[in-house]
Amino acid sequence: MMSPAASLSAIPIEHRYFEDYVVGALVDCGTIDVEEAEVLAFGRRFDPQPFHSDPDAAAKGPFGGLIASGWHTASLMMRLFVQRYISSVASLGSPGASELAWPRPVQPGDVLRVVISVIEARRSRSKPDRGLVRSCIEVFNQRNELVMRMNVINMLSCRDGGFPLP
């Protein structure tokens, strides 16, 4: 029998349901590159503070250079969350998150690794066809320094009768 830490990763993402997200399960979601062009494009559209959107001003600013918007870091994390962690057939969205932290800046050229673990899982009381999973997401840079952490809640259909119908 596999440990909880290993078993979730072993289930193809299109076969994961609420029941598979057991406390202790841990998924290494791999890495994603932080590209300067996207840091700038994201910053200019969504977070036009100089240190996210203007390389010259950023060089003279509080971080000594360009850094990624925290929302860009979160969005890059989300791509791996969707590709490697959350079920592609049973996800019903998220009501929210807590304890979102950006303890260190993220710079262009960084390579981010996302590691996610299940910290709580329970059937919904009001809607028994689904369950709620609380996950701890940690994002590290190539020096293994923590650059983002958050806890997120996801709703997931149960294998025995959710959406879409089995």
Sequence-separated (6 or more) residues with CB below 8 Å from residue 56 = none
- Residue 31 CA to chain centroid, in angstroms? 11
Contact present, 37 and 50 (Cβ < 8 Å): no
SS3 category, 162: coil
Q: Which residues are near a copy of itself by CB under 8 A?
A: 42, 45-49, 51, 60-63, 67, 69-71, 74-76, 78-79, 82-83, 86, 88, 91-103, 105, 150, 163-164
Sign of CA dihedral 16, 28, 113, 118: positive
CB of 82 to a copy of itself, least distance (A): 5
CB of 152 to a copy of itself, least distance (A): 9
Tokens 């596999």 correspond to 2
Residue 123: strand pairing partners: 131
CB of 1 to a copy of itself, least distance (A): 31
CB of 70 to a copy of itself, least distance (A): 6
Q: Which residue, 51 or 140, has its beta carbon nearer to a copy of itself?
A: 51
